[in-house]
Amino acid sequence: MKTTLEISDPVFRQIKARAALKGETMRAFFLDAIREKLAAESLQKKGEPGWRAVFGKASKRSVAKVQLVIDEEFSKINAEDWK
């Protein structure tokens, strides 16, 4: 199904940039965002607390990006500074 949305220019630019950073089309970005929102609301209606509702639900790509940042930061640690 196709639909039309009105989105303010600043929000549109943010969406376009975030989709590009993730290497996704805007369509894929929107669908993922909508699915995540629906899933979160569904879990909250079941009475599950906020962070527990989404724990372990991150995409493999998101987890890999976070791990890369963690690895980069840990590589900057000098073991001699901790002695």
pLDDT of residue 53 exceeding 70: no
pLDDT per position as a tens digit, 56-67: 777 788 888 888
**Residue 55: inside a domain:** yes
**Residue 1: inside a domain:** no
**Residue 2: inside a domain:** no
**Residue 19: inside a domain:** yes
Residue 4, CA distances (Å) to 1, 7, 19, 39, 41 in order: 10, 10, 19, 23, 23
- Determine the structural domain holding residue 71 and report its residue range: 9-82
Q: What is the rounded distance in angstroms from the CA atom of residue 18 to the CA atom of residue 61?
A: 14
Domain count, the chain: 1
Q: What is the pTM of this model?
A: 0.48
**Residue 3: inside a domain:** no
**Residue 43: inside a domain:** yes
